[in-house]
Amino acid sequence: MLGFFGRKPIHCDGCSRVMEKRKHHVVDESFRGTLKDKKKLRLCTTCFIKKFKDYLVANDTKAIVVEPFSGFNAYQFYTFDEMVLKYGWPENKVRTLRSLGRQVGSCVSCGKPAKLHLFPPDVYERDPFDLNIDTSVKGQLLCPDCLSNALQNIIEREQIFFKEVLPPGQGEGLITPFEV
Segment (H or E) for 80? helix 80-85
pLDDT value at residue 5:
54
- Cβ–Cβ under 8 Å, residues 3 and 23: no
Q: Which residues of 43-71 are buried (b: 16+ CB within 10 A; e: fewer)?
A: bbbebbbebbbebbeeeebbbbbbbbeee
> pTM here?
0.88
pLDDT value at residue 2:
44
pLDDT along the chain (180 residues), means of 10: 59 94 90 84 96 93 92 91 91 91 91 96 77 87 96 95 91 90
pLDDT value at residue 56:
93
pLDDT value at residue 33:
74
As a whole number of angstroms, the distance between CA 93 and CA 91 comes to: 5
Pairing, β 62-66 against β 172-178: parallel
